[in-house]
Amino acid sequence: MMKPDIPSIKSWSQEQRCDMIADFWVSLWSSIQLSILRDKGAEDLIRFKTLILRTHQRTHFLDGLDKLHIDRSLPPAVVAAQYHYLSNKIGGLNLQYIEESPKKVWIRYLPPVWSFPDLSLVAVPSSVQRAVFTGWHPFNGVSLGAPQLGFVVTKVVQEGEPYDEGYFFEYDHVLEPDERIQYLPSPVSPDFDPGSAPELDPVEWPAERLIKAKRNFARGYVEDGIRTAVQMYGEHAGSALIAHAARLCALVRFEKLRADLGVHGNTARDLVDIFSAISQLAGESLEALELGPGQFSVTRRNRLFMGQPVHLGAFSALFQYVVMAARMLSARVRVDLVSVGIEDGVVVENWTARDTCERLY
Protein backbone atom coordinates (compact mmCIF):
# COMPACT_ATOMS: atom_id res chain seq x y z
CA MET A 1 0.00 0.00 0.00
CA MET A 2 1.43 3.35 -1.05
CA LYS A 3 1.65 6.09 1.59
CA PRO A 4 1.19 9.74 0.60
CA ASP A 5 4.34 11.83 0.62
CA ILE A 6 3.35 15.36 1.67
CA PRO A 7 6.05 16.46 4.13
CA SER A 8 4.58 19.95 4.59
CA ILE A 9 1.35 18.95 6.34
CA LYS A 10 3.13 16.80 8.91
CA SER A 11 4.22 19.95 10.72
CA TRP A 12 0.85 21.72 10.46
CA SER A 13 -1.16 22.47 13.56
CA GLN A 14 -4.71 21.19 13.88
CA GLU A 15 -5.93 24.72 13.20
CA GLN A 16 -3.96 24.91 9.94
CA ARG A 17 -5.32 21.55 8.85
CA CYS A 18 -8.93 22.46 9.62
CA ASP A 19 -8.60 25.89 8.00
CA MET A 20 -7.19 24.34 4.84
CA ILE A 21 -10.01 21.85 4.36
CA ALA A 22 -12.62 24.45 5.37
CA ASP A 23 -11.31 26.74 2.62
CA PHE A 24 -11.49 23.82 0.17
CA TRP A 25 -15.16 23.21 1.05
CA VAL A 26 -16.08 26.92 1.01
CA SER A 27 -14.66 27.19 -2.51
CA LEU A 28 -16.91 24.31 -3.62
CA TRP A 29 -19.92 25.91 -1.91
CA SER A 30 -19.22 29.20 -3.66
CA SER A 31 -18.74 27.47 -7.02
CA ILE A 32 -22.12 25.72 -6.79
CA GLN A 33 -23.84 29.04 -6.09
CA LEU A 34 -22.08 30.85 -8.92
CA SER A 35 -22.89 28.04 -11.34
CA ILE A 36 -26.58 28.40 -10.48
CA LEU A 37 -26.33 32.17 -10.94
CA ARG A 38 -24.63 31.80 -14.33
CA ASP A 39 -26.80 29.03 -15.77
CA LYS A 40 -30.16 29.57 -14.03
CA GLY A 41 -30.20 33.22 -12.98
CA ALA A 42 -30.57 35.25 -9.80
CA GLU A 43 -34.10 34.07 -9.00
CA ASP A 44 -32.95 30.45 -8.87
CA LEU A 45 -29.99 31.35 -6.68
CA ILE A 46 -32.35 33.21 -4.33
CA ARG A 47 -34.58 30.14 -4.14
CA PHE A 48 -31.55 27.91 -3.58
CA LYS A 49 -30.19 29.98 -0.70
CA THR A 50 -33.62 30.52 0.83
CA LEU A 51 -34.35 26.79 0.88
CA ILE A 52 -31.07 26.10 2.66
CA LEU A 53 -31.44 28.89 5.19
CA ARG A 54 -35.06 28.06 5.99
CA THR A 55 -34.01 24.47 6.68
CA HIS A 56 -31.12 25.66 8.84
CA GLN A 57 -33.38 27.99 10.80
CA ARG A 58 -35.80 25.15 11.57
CA THR A 59 -33.14 22.61 12.48
CA HIS A 60 -30.30 24.68 13.98
CA PHE A 61 -31.71 27.74 15.71
CA LEU A 62 -33.34 26.50 18.91
CA ASP A 63 -30.88 23.64 19.34
CA GLY A 64 -28.04 26.09 18.74
CA LEU A 65 -29.20 28.38 21.54
CA ASP A 66 -28.57 25.58 24.00
CA LYS A 67 -25.20 24.62 22.48
CA LEU A 68 -24.08 28.23 22.63
CA HIS A 69 -25.45 28.63 26.18
CA ILE A 70 -27.63 31.60 25.22
CA ASP A 71 -30.16 32.35 27.96
CA ARG A 72 -33.64 32.14 26.42
CA SER A 73 -35.04 34.35 29.20
CA LEU A 74 -33.21 37.34 27.71
CA PRO A 75 -35.21 39.72 25.49
CA PRO A 76 -35.99 38.07 22.12
CA ALA A 77 -33.96 40.61 20.11
CA VAL A 78 -30.92 39.90 22.29
CA VAL A 79 -31.35 36.13 22.02
CA ALA A 80 -31.68 36.19 18.22
CA ALA A 81 -28.77 38.56 17.67
CA GLN A 82 -26.48 36.66 20.03
CA TYR A 83 -27.22 33.45 18.14
CA HIS A 84 -26.25 34.92 14.76
CA TYR A 85 -23.18 36.62 16.18
CA LEU A 86 -21.79 33.58 17.98
CA SER A 87 -22.74 30.86 15.49
CA ASN A 88 -21.31 32.74 12.52
CA LYS A 89 -18.15 33.69 14.42
CA ILE A 90 -17.60 29.98 14.96
CA GLY A 91 -17.91 29.46 11.20
CA GLY A 92 -15.16 31.99 10.52
CA LEU A 93 -17.25 35.03 9.62
CA ASN A 94 -16.30 38.50 10.84
CA LEU A 95 -19.20 40.13 12.70
CA GLN A 96 -20.11 42.94 15.05
CA TYR A 97 -22.86 43.00 17.70
CA ILE A 98 -24.38 46.22 19.04
CA GLU A 99 -27.05 46.13 21.73
CA GLU A 100 -28.66 49.55 21.32
CA SER A 101 -31.45 48.58 23.73
CA PRO A 102 -33.06 45.35 24.98
CA LYS A 103 -35.55 45.66 22.12
CA LYS A 104 -33.13 46.72 19.35
CA VAL A 105 -29.94 44.77 18.66
CA TRP A 106 -27.74 45.24 15.60
CA ILE A 107 -25.76 42.62 13.66
CA ARG A 108 -23.08 43.63 11.19
CA TYR A 109 -21.50 41.15 8.73
CA LEU A 110 -18.10 42.51 7.71
CA PRO A 111 -16.17 41.61 4.55
CA PRO A 112 -14.92 39.38 3.15
CA VAL A 113 -18.29 37.84 2.29
CA TRP A 114 -17.96 34.22 3.37
CA SER A 115 -20.06 32.67 0.59
CA PHE A 116 -18.44 34.69 -2.20
CA PRO A 117 -14.74 35.20 -1.49
CA ASP A 118 -12.48 37.24 -3.71
CA LEU A 119 -13.88 38.92 -6.84
CA SER A 120 -16.79 36.50 -7.26
CA LEU A 121 -18.89 38.89 -5.16
CA VAL A 122 -18.85 41.37 -8.06
CA ALA A 123 -21.22 39.12 -10.05
CA VAL A 124 -23.78 38.66 -7.27
CA PRO A 125 -26.78 41.04 -7.31
CA SER A 126 -28.11 42.64 -4.15
CA SER A 127 -31.35 40.67 -4.44
CA VAL A 128 -29.39 37.52 -3.65
CA GLN A 129 -27.74 39.01 -0.60
CA ARG A 130 -31.10 40.24 0.68
CA ALA A 131 -32.36 36.67 0.40
CA VAL A 132 -29.80 35.65 3.00
CA PHE A 133 -31.74 37.73 5.51
CA THR A 134 -35.16 36.72 4.18
CA GLY A 135 -34.45 33.02 4.55
CA TRP A 136 -33.65 33.03 8.28
CA HIS A 137 -33.74 36.23 10.32
CA PRO A 138 -37.50 37.02 10.18
CA PHE A 139 -38.45 33.58 11.50
CA ASN A 140 -36.53 33.71 14.77
CA GLY A 141 -39.31 35.51 16.61
CA VAL A 142 -41.88 32.84 15.80
CA SER A 143 -39.45 30.11 16.91
CA LEU A 144 -38.90 31.94 20.20
CA GLY A 145 -42.61 32.38 20.82
CA ALA A 146 -42.16 36.13 20.29
CA PRO A 147 -44.25 36.99 17.20
CA GLN A 148 -43.59 40.68 17.78
CA LEU A 149 -39.90 40.24 16.84
CA GLY A 150 -38.84 41.32 13.36
CA PHE A 151 -35.66 42.11 11.46
CA VAL A 152 -34.77 45.31 9.61
CA VAL A 153 -32.09 45.24 6.87
CA THR A 154 -30.19 48.53 6.78
CA LYS A 155 -27.17 47.91 4.56
CA VAL A 156 -26.19 45.47 1.78
CA VAL A 157 -22.69 45.38 0.29
CA GLN A 158 -23.87 45.09 -3.31
CA GLU A 159 -25.63 48.44 -2.91
CA GLY A 160 -22.37 50.25 -2.18
CA GLU A 161 -22.17 49.66 1.57
CA PRO A 162 -19.02 48.47 3.39
CA TYR A 163 -20.85 45.59 5.08
CA ASP A 164 -24.21 43.83 5.42
CA GLU A 165 -26.15 45.09 8.41
CA GLY A 166 -29.50 45.03 10.14
CA TYR A 167 -31.14 44.87 13.53
CA PHE A 168 -33.60 42.71 15.41
CA PHE A 169 -36.44 44.82 16.77
CA GLU A 170 -39.20 43.92 19.21
CA TYR A 171 -42.36 45.78 18.26
CA ASP A 172 -45.35 46.48 20.50
CA HIS A 173 -47.69 44.31 18.43
CA VAL A 174 -47.79 40.89 16.82
CA LEU A 175 -46.30 41.07 13.33
CA GLU A 176 -48.00 39.83 10.20
CA PRO A 177 -45.78 37.56 8.04
CA ASP A 178 -45.01 40.37 5.60
CA GLU A 179 -43.97 42.65 8.48
CA ARG A 180 -41.30 40.34 9.89
CA ILE A 181 -38.60 41.67 7.59
CA GLN A 182 -38.21 45.21 6.30
CA TYR A 183 -35.62 47.10 4.24
CA LEU A 184 -34.93 50.54 5.70
CA PRO A 185 -31.56 52.07 4.76
CA SER A 186 -29.79 53.66 7.71
CA PRO A 187 -27.14 56.25 6.77
CA VAL A 188 -25.64 56.18 10.27
CA SER A 189 -25.55 53.22 12.62
CA PRO A 190 -24.07 52.77 16.12
CA ASP A 191 -20.48 51.96 17.03
CA PHE A 192 -19.32 48.45 17.89
CA ASP A 193 -17.82 47.94 21.34
CA PRO A 194 -15.95 44.60 21.42
CA GLY A 195 -16.09 44.60 25.20
CA SER A 196 -19.88 44.52 25.13
CA ALA A 197 -20.21 41.67 22.63
CA PRO A 198 -21.26 38.19 23.84
CA GLU A 199 -18.59 35.54 24.24
CA LEU A 200 -18.57 31.76 24.19
CA ASP A 201 -17.96 29.86 27.41
CA PRO A 202 -14.24 28.91 27.13
CA VAL A 203 -14.83 25.76 29.16
CA GLU A 204 -17.62 24.54 26.89
CA TRP A 205 -15.89 25.86 23.78
CA PRO A 206 -12.14 25.22 24.08
CA ALA A 207 -9.87 25.99 21.14
CA GLU A 208 -9.94 22.43 19.80
CA ARG A 209 -13.74 22.38 19.62
CA LEU A 210 -13.83 25.78 17.91
CA ILE A 211 -11.33 24.66 15.29
CA LYS A 212 -13.33 21.55 14.42
CA ALA A 213 -16.63 23.47 14.47
CA LYS A 214 -15.31 25.90 11.86
CA ARG A 215 -14.37 22.98 9.62
CA ASN A 216 -17.77 21.32 10.10
CA PHE A 217 -19.57 24.62 9.41
CA ALA A 218 -18.01 24.72 5.92
CA ARG A 219 -18.63 21.04 5.23
CA GLY A 220 -22.30 21.43 6.17
CA TYR A 221 -22.84 24.12 3.55
CA VAL A 222 -21.28 21.97 0.81
CA GLU A 223 -23.56 19.08 1.77
CA ASP A 224 -26.62 21.31 1.80
CA GLY A 225 -25.62 22.91 -1.48
CA ILE A 226 -25.35 19.54 -3.21
CA ARG A 227 -28.58 18.27 -1.66
CA THR A 228 -30.52 21.41 -2.59
CA ALA A 229 -29.23 21.52 -6.17
CA VAL A 230 -30.48 17.96 -6.67
CA GLN A 231 -33.77 18.83 -4.93
CA MET A 232 -34.34 21.80 -7.26
CA TYR A 233 -33.23 20.31 -10.58
CA GLY A 234 -33.38 16.54 -10.16
CA GLU A 235 -30.44 14.16 -9.94
CA HIS A 236 -29.43 14.34 -13.60
CA ALA A 237 -29.55 18.11 -14.13
CA GLY A 238 -28.45 18.84 -10.56
CA SER A 239 -25.43 16.56 -10.94
CA ALA A 240 -24.52 18.22 -14.24
CA LEU A 241 -24.53 21.58 -12.49
CA ILE A 242 -22.38 20.22 -9.64
CA ALA A 243 -19.93 18.73 -12.16
CA HIS A 244 -19.61 22.11 -13.86
CA ALA A 245 -19.02 23.80 -10.49
CA ALA A 246 -16.40 21.22 -9.50
CA ARG A 247 -14.47 21.61 -12.75
CA LEU A 248 -14.31 25.39 -12.55
CA CYS A 249 -13.52 25.30 -8.84
CA ALA A 250 -10.49 23.14 -9.62
CA LEU A 251 -9.53 25.42 -12.49
CA VAL A 252 -9.45 28.43 -10.15
CA ARG A 253 -8.17 26.83 -6.94
CA PHE A 254 -6.05 23.78 -7.74
CA GLU A 255 -2.73 25.52 -8.46
CA LYS A 256 -2.85 27.35 -5.13
CA LEU A 257 -3.90 24.15 -3.39
CA ARG A 258 -0.93 22.17 -4.69
CA ALA A 259 1.41 25.06 -3.88
CA ASP A 260 0.09 25.21 -0.31
CA LEU A 261 0.68 21.48 -0.02
CA GLY A 262 4.19 21.85 -1.41
CA VAL A 263 3.67 19.47 -4.35
CA HIS A 264 5.62 20.55 -7.44
CA GLY A 265 5.68 17.40 -9.58
CA ASN A 266 3.27 16.57 -12.38
CA THR A 267 2.91 12.79 -12.35
CA ALA A 268 0.11 10.43 -11.38
CA ARG A 269 1.88 9.85 -8.07
CA ASP A 270 1.84 13.58 -7.37
CA LEU A 271 -1.89 13.70 -8.09
CA VAL A 272 -2.55 10.80 -5.72
CA ASP A 273 -0.38 12.47 -3.07
CA ILE A 274 -2.41 15.67 -3.33
CA PHE A 275 -5.78 13.97 -2.90
CA SER A 276 -4.40 11.75 -0.17
CA ALA A 277 -3.46 14.93 1.67
CA ILE A 278 -6.93 16.43 1.13
CA SER A 279 -8.52 13.28 2.51
CA GLN A 280 -6.18 13.34 5.48
CA LEU A 281 -7.09 16.96 6.21
CA ALA A 282 -10.78 16.06 5.98
CA GLY A 283 -10.41 13.14 8.37
CA GLU A 284 -11.18 10.66 5.60
CA SER A 285 -9.65 7.33 4.71
CA LEU A 286 -7.84 7.09 1.38
CA GLU A 287 -5.90 4.01 0.34
CA ALA A 288 -3.68 4.01 -2.74
CA LEU A 289 -2.24 0.86 -4.27
CA GLU A 290 0.63 1.09 -6.75
CA LEU A 291 -0.25 -1.34 -9.55
CA GLY A 292 2.94 -0.72 -11.48
CA PRO A 293 5.24 2.13 -12.51
CA GLY A 294 3.07 5.24 -12.69
CA GLN A 295 -0.19 3.31 -12.16
CA PHE A 296 -2.36 3.62 -9.05
CA SER A 297 -5.67 2.33 -7.73
CA VAL A 298 -7.33 4.62 -5.17
CA THR A 299 -10.13 3.93 -2.68
CA ARG A 300 -11.52 6.92 -0.80
CA ARG A 301 -14.07 6.80 2.03
CA ASN A 302 -15.70 10.24 1.95
CA ARG A 303 -16.80 12.25 4.99
CA LEU A 304 -19.45 14.17 3.08
CA PHE A 305 -22.98 12.96 3.88
CA MET A 306 -21.80 10.35 6.39
CA GLY A 307 -24.88 8.43 7.55
CA GLN A 308 -27.19 10.68 5.50
CA PRO A 309 -29.23 10.01 2.35
CA VAL A 310 -27.12 10.79 -0.69
CA HIS A 311 -27.45 10.88 -4.48
CA LEU A 312 -24.52 8.94 -5.91
CA GLY A 313 -24.80 10.85 -9.17
CA ALA A 314 -23.80 13.97 -7.30
CA PHE A 315 -20.66 12.25 -6.02
CA SER A 316 -19.75 11.19 -9.52
CA ALA A 317 -20.17 14.84 -10.47
CA LEU A 318 -17.84 15.99 -7.67
CA PHE A 319 -15.16 13.71 -9.11
CA GLN A 320 -14.84 16.20 -11.96
CA TYR A 321 -12.68 18.22 -9.56
CA VAL A 322 -10.14 15.37 -9.66
CA VAL A 323 -10.46 15.09 -13.44
CA MET A 324 -9.79 18.79 -13.97
CA ALA A 325 -6.94 18.73 -11.44
CA ALA A 326 -5.29 15.91 -13.41
CA ARG A 327 -5.64 17.86 -16.66
CA MET A 328 -4.09 20.92 -15.05
CA LEU A 329 -1.28 18.85 -13.60
CA SER A 330 -0.23 17.27 -16.89
CA ALA A 331 -1.55 16.33 -20.33
CA ARG A 332 -0.04 12.90 -19.65
CA VAL A 333 -1.93 11.93 -16.47
CA ARG A 334 -5.19 10.04 -16.86
CA VAL A 335 -7.78 9.47 -14.13
CA ASP A 336 -10.89 7.29 -14.35
CA LEU A 337 -13.72 6.89 -11.87
CA VAL A 338 -14.29 3.15 -11.54
CA SER A 339 -17.21 3.07 -9.09
CA VAL A 340 -19.12 5.00 -6.43
CA GLY A 341 -21.10 3.17 -3.77
CA ILE A 342 -22.20 3.22 -0.15
CA GLU A 343 -20.68 1.00 2.53
CA ASP A 344 -21.90 1.26 6.14
CA GLY A 345 -23.37 4.70 5.49
CA VAL A 346 -20.17 6.05 3.92
CA VAL A 347 -19.72 6.95 0.25
CA VAL A 348 -16.79 4.98 -1.19
CA GLU A 349 -15.25 5.97 -4.50
CA ASN A 350 -12.75 3.90 -6.44
CA TRP A 351 -10.64 5.48 -9.13
CA THR A 352 -7.40 5.00 -11.01
CA ALA A 353 -4.58 7.35 -11.99
CA ARG A 354 -1.80 6.58 -14.43
CA ASP A 355 0.93 8.24 -16.42
CA THR A 356 0.73 7.97 -20.21
CA CYS A 357 3.39 8.30 -22.89
CA GLU A 358 1.24 10.34 -25.27
CA ARG A 359 -0.59 13.58 -24.64
CA LEU A 360 -4.25 12.99 -23.82
CA TYR A 361 -5.47 16.33 -25.18
**Helix (H), strand (E) counts: the chain:** 10, 9
Same domain, 28 and 174: yes
175 and 98 in one domain? yes
Give residue 258's Cα distance to chain centre. Answer: 21
Q: Is residue 119 part of a domain?
A: yes
Q: Please indicate, yes or no, if residue 2 is contained in any of the structural domains.
A: no
Share of the chain above pLDDT 90, in %: 91
Statement to judge: residues 288 and 187 lie in one domain: no
Within this chain, do residues 202 and 248 fall inside the same structural domain, yes or no? no
pTM: 0.95
**End position of a domain, from candidates 181, 212, 243:** 212
pLDDT higher than threshold 70 for residue 3: no
Mean pLDDT of 253-277: 95
Looking at the structure, do residues 73 and 151 belong to the same domain, yes or no?
A: yes
Does residue 110 lie in a domain region? yes
- Within 8 A by CB and 6+ apart from 200, the residues are 68, 69, 86, 90, 210
Q: What is the dihedral of CA 28, 331, 302, 64, to 10 degrees?
A: -10
Q: What is the pLDDT of residue 115?
A: 94
pLDDT at 355 over 70: yes
- Classify residue 225: in a domain, yes or no: no
Examine the domain organization and report whether 193 and 257 are in the same domain.
Answer: no
DSSP 8-state class, residue 228: H
Three-state secondary structure call for residue 48 = helix
| Of 1, 186, 167, nearest in space to 98 by CA | 167
Residues 177 and 243 in one domain: no
Domain co-membership, 245 together with 164:
no
CATH number at residue 309: 3.90.1520.10
8 Å CB contact between 156 and 129: yes
Does 57 map to a domain?
A: yes
pLDDT at 1: 61
350 lies in the same domain as 246 = yes
* Domain match, 241 and 156 both: no
Provide the 8-state DSSP code for 193. -
Answer yes or no: is 279 within a domain. Answer: yes
pLDDT digits (tens, 9 = 90+) for 276-306: 999 999 999 999 999 999 999 999 999 898 8
Domain check: are 129 and 165 in the same one? yes
Residue 73, domain extent: 14-212
How many CB atoms are closer than 10 A to CB 107? 23
In a domain, 190, yes or no: yes
Q: How far is CA 75 from CA 56, 140, 274, 334, 350, in A?
A: 22, 12, 50, 60, 53
Tally of structural domains, the chain: 2
State the average pLDDT over residues 108-129.
93
Residue 4 domain-assigned (yes or no): no
202 and 241 together in one domain? no
* Domain harbouring 196, CATH code: 3.30.1380
pLDDT of res. 5: 64
